[in-house]
Structure 1
Amino acid sequence: MTAVAHEPLVQADVLLEGFLALDTPEGFRAELIEGEIVVTPPPDGDHEDYINLIMKQVIRQSRTEMDFSGNKGLKLKGAPDCPKDHVIPDGTFAPTELRLFRGADSWMPCDGVALVVEVTSTRPDTDRDTKRRCYARGEVPLYLLVDRGASSLTLFSEPEEGDYLQRRSIHFGKVLPLPEPFGFELDTADFV
């Protein structure tokens, strides 16, 4: 009986150890999401353009000065019987005063992160569903999803019990209000 109770933990430890030892090809990134190792190829130019458009507006218009990191590894609370999720958002914002990125390891806790951004690419359902749950379990206050397939942006907020309670979606070309600590309307006219 005791061996069975510890079996999921042992499997989770082995999975995490194997994941952390991966040597992915240059430009590829590996993530551990809900007990599955996910490897994605380098992003295309449109993917990077969306991130750039968001980053510029946040840096220029936020009421709170923000630092930005592209592809920063975050350790988040894992799903039941899984190791901690190791997720790499396309963009991570944190208040400058916290200096979260300075001196951080490759995989850092998400405490203090204000917003994560994902742009759909090769596995859109991972960004729409799986990563959304990961960020909510990690209590990341805001998750912004740029859904290229739907030509829309969705802002998820109020993480609770493994998901977000609030979501607001707009189509490309509209404005999306970002709450504090950002406090401005994200203009997506250039997304069209």
Structure 2
Amino acid sequence: MTAMAHEPLTQEEVLLEGFLALDTPEGFRAELVEGEIVVAPPPDGDHEDYIELIVQQVYRRSRTDMQFSGNKGLKLGKAEGCPKDHVIPDGTFALRSLRLYRGADPWMPCQGVSMVLEVTSTRPKADREVKRRCYARGGVPLYLLVDRDTPEVTLLSDPREDEYRQHCTVPFGKPLALPEPFAFDLDTADFL
């Protein structure tokens, strides 16, 4: 038997292998975003409070039964010359009937995810621009961004290629209409 020569790994494959082998400290999140490995520290309490306020409204007011995860990472489309993005949103919502969050793999495809949620923290520009492109590339229908710096909430919809075509922004304190499958006005009064 002759040994077969193996093709050398591409730079994309080496980066992805290195990323998937990372052992981040507890509470930290490692993501592979547009060819860059990003490690984020644990969020602060205000960050978590915004997420909880939104999750509670979705569970109580959504027209459709939804599931939420703040831990599952998404494997999304790839930017030119980069491996597939591996992003951990602050939260994802999916129809409960799909049971998307099952299984041991910490990374899941984005098909079936109804909405991603991000609350700005240590890298707000990444949430506003880089992650927006990643989620649009992955075809995630809705992206809800709570921007603590501005202070505004933005709902992005109608993803095409690297961008969302529809944007609706309201200041904290004003309601924001969430379309189907949610079909309710998100109350942001408690965000003040």
Give the TM-score category using the shorter length. Answer: over 0.9
Aligned equivalents of 2:155 and 2:71: distance in 1?
Answer: 19
Q: Which whole-Å deviations, capped at 9, do the CAs of 1:1-44 have from their partners, x for residues lacking one?
A: xxxxx99x801100000000001111101000000000000000
1:15 aligns with 2:20: no
Give RMSD over aligned pairs. Answer: 1.3
1:52-71 to 2 correspondences below 5 Å: 52-71=52-71
- 5 Å matches for 1:1-192? 10-103=10-103, 105-192=105-192
CA distance in 2, matches of 1:163, 1:64: 26
The amino acid that maps onto 2:56 is K
Q: Kindly name which structure, 1 or 2, has the bigger radius of gyration based on alpha carbons.
A: 2
Q: Which whole-Å CA distance do the structure 2 matches of 1:45 and 1:184 have between them?
A: 26
SS of residue in 1 equivalent to 2:10:
helix
Paired residue type of 1:21 = A
Runs of 4+ in structure 1 displaced over 2 angstroms? none
Distance verdict in 2 for CA 1:112–1:104, change over 3 Å: farther
Higher helix share: 1
Shift of 1:104: 5.3
Structure 1: gaps spanning 5 or more residues: 1-5
Report % sequence identity: 72
Show CA shifts across 1:31-65 (max 9, x none). Answer: 00000000000000000000000000001111110
1:150-189 deviation per Cα after TM superposition (whole angstroms, max 9, x unaligned): 0100000000021100000000000000000000000000
Shift of 1:78: 1.0
- Distance in 1 (alpha carbons) for counterparts of 2:95 and 2:31: 25
Segments of 5+ residues of structure 2 without an aligned counterpart are 1-6
